[in-house]
Structure 1
Amino acid sequence: MKTWDLDQFKGVFVAMYSAYDDAGEVCEERVKNLSRSYVNSGVTGLYVGGSSGEGILQTTEERKRVVEAVMQEVGRELTIIVHVGANSTEESRELAIHAEKCGAHAISAVPAIYYRLSEQSVEKHWQEIIDSTSLPFIIYNIPQTTGFNLTQSLFQKMAAQEKVIGIKMSGESVYELQQLKANSGKEFLVFNGPDEQYLGGRIMGADGGIGGTYGVMPELFCTLDKLYRANEFEKAQKLQFEINSVIKKLLSYPSLYGACKYILSLRNIETGSPRLPLLPVVQQDYASLSELNDRILRLINTYIVEVEKIY
């Protein structure tokens, strides 16, 4: 029986953003620079090609180029989970096989989107992906975008398989997250999806989290995780509230991803604009985003000192 070191998947995973050149094309150099920027932040790894990475908006070949660049740059330093979800099962299989060839540590997928699929369709879709490689598989449940809410019966059927090692739970109920953990029937990873409730997810049994806003403040989420593990719940709650205030502000812009990518540009990490229909930031928001960036950096400095007192 094949076993995986599940510890390498526990902790904070940045749902990595796209990285385009000024013409809007995938830029391997910028992909590498972005992935390199997370190496010393304290994160466990990167989740590549998901919602934050705009995988659904890229061609198969573009997605492959992104994975290749990430693996070349940080594949030996961080744990890399590649999201291979696509509208067609065949495309997902192709991406999964490619991820394995590149040396990725695990693959993950949403159900196919657009069509309202039955449980049998989703099961078949995931099974084809799982069977296409020897890599461990992580279910991605995000009903608010896919329109498919994973049932306990299908979950238990999938989780019973050796290669299915975890789930990214992006539904908003920490009770449902806890139930997934309780009903997996084996040692099983549950990743908290909603960034605003990272602490709540951890308290209810999550082994870590995968999130998009982590990308502009990975140190804060790593600090939050350390406070949780040190049983410093009051301090952890205070930090989660600070993080949520930042997230609320990020969500006030026309494009969350555009806002996050602009903040990175203020730190000399260029990733280009998000791909349409996702909107870029507009010039009138530059000043407030600069202020938000300054606020994030102050929080990082403040809480790093706070954690150093504990450890």
Structure 2
Amino acid sequence: MFTGSMVALVTPLDEAGNVDYKSLQNLVEYHVNAGTSAIISMGTTGESATLSVEEHVEVVLKTIAFAAGRIKIIAGTGANATHEAIEFNQRFANTGIDGCLTVTPYYNRPTQEGLYQHFKAIAESADVPQILYNVPARTGVDLLPETVARLAKLPNVIGIKDATGDLARVNKTRELCGENFIQLSGDDLTGLDFVALGGHGVISVTANIAAADMAEMFKLALDGQIEEARLIDRRLSALHKNLFIESSPTPVKWAAKQLGLIENAQLRLPLVDLSDAAEPVVRQALVDAGLL
């Protein structure tokens, strides 16, 4: 259902800090034309942590409308309070959404049983396909493969975005959850290796600014042409690394503005503009990738 290069889409803001829906529409067109497999709206890269609930919902609904069925749309619905994640899940049911991406609860550090009960309650709250999202570096909690296996038995839980960078989990998760359980990398640096080991695709930050390259790379990889895919991956490797030189999405928004994909690189506090020291590093990565 979800394979290939999927983008963790930035949320463009205007100079006043309001959502720039014209730029958002342009981004959707960019990804449709580039061959991106799916758009993840209001994930971590979309600054979901600093937009209000109503802004969050409106951005997702506008993205669905702009896409007009031409590309799959996945809504970020994670929260550290289960009732809030359930609210998001229910609000996006029957909107034309293709799935929801739900991050592990952050800050409160639940046990594995707590994680199971959290995701179970969400999955049972509305008939929407659920993709689990494990990113311990940001949330402080690790969703272990054994817990994923328990959750995979629930009808609505169809896959996981794994941002641990631990490639050993690809085989482990497949053994526990079966071939049909969708495994998506959340780490651009290891994404191609993840697919080479049997993963189904990537949810990418790099794809925000190199959409066609990422789409082609993962098409090649899924067709078994790994060495051809590696040629693209090597060219993009500096981007994979340096788009995280400062807190994401700061570098990728700056890069998107340089390429004319968005009008402003505006962020919401506590994120601030890309530093003067980091700018030439990101610019060089764009040059190395053939984008500038």
TM score, norm. by length of structure 2: 0.92
CA contact (8 A) 1:20 1:27 kept: yes
Equivalence map 1:149-228=2 (5 Å): 149-185=142-178, 187-228=180-221
CA contact (8 A) 2:116 2:150 kept: no
- Which residue in 1 is equivalent to 2:251? 259
Among 84, 89, 97, which residue is 1:96 paired with? 89
The residue type paired with residue 59 of structure 1 is: S
| Pair 1:80-2:85 in alignment | no
- Matched position secondary structure for 2:49: helix
The residue type paired with residue 74 of structure 2 is: I
CA-CA distance at 1:285 after TM superposition: 5.4
Larger fraction in helix: 1
CA-CA distance at 1:186 after TM superposition: 5.7
Distance 2:223 2:123 in 1: 36
TM score, norm. by length of structure 1: 0.86
Distance 2:291 2:206 in 1: 17
Among 53, 63, 69, which residue is 2:62 paired with? 69
CA contact (8 A) 1:19 1:31 kept: yes
Equivalence map 1:262-273=2 (5 Å): 262-268=254-260, 269-273=262-266
- Matched position secondary structure for 2:40: strand
- Which residue in 1 is equivalent to 2:46? 53
CA-CA distance at 1:267 after TM superposition: 2.9
Deviations 1:47-66 (A, max 9, x none): 11111111122211110011
Distance 1:245 1:119 in 2: 35
Distance 2:280 2:220 in 1: 32
Change (3 A) 1:230 1:121: closer
- Matched position secondary structure for 1:166: strand
CA contact (8 A) 2:196 2:226 kept: no
CA-CA distance at 1:173 after TM superposition: 1.0
Q: Which runs of 5+ in 2 are unaligned?
A: none
Q: Which runs of 5+ in 1 are unaligned?
A: 1-5, 300-311
The residue type paired with residue 250 of structure 2 is: G
CA contact (8 A) 2:12 2:20 kept: yes
The residue type paired with residue 254 of structure 2 is: Y
Deviations 1:282-310 (A, max 9, x none): 456556655543443459xxxxxxxxxxx
CA contact (8 A) 1:75 1:103 kept: no
Over the residues paired in the alignment, what is the CA RMSD in angstroms? 2.1
- Matched position secondary structure for 1:140: strand
CA contact (8 A) 1:28 1:65 kept: no
Segments of 4+ moved more than 6 angstroms: none
CA contact (8 A) 1:191 1:210 kept: yes
CA contact (8 A) 2:4 2:219 kept: no
CA contact (8 A) 1:12 1:43 kept: yes
Among 85, 88, 111, which residue is 2:104 paired with? 111
CA-CA distance at 1:271 after TM superposition: 4.8
CA contact (8 A) 2:189 2:237 kept: yes
- Matched position secondary structure for 1:46: strand
Q: Provide the aligned length of Structure 1 versus Structure 2.
A: 291
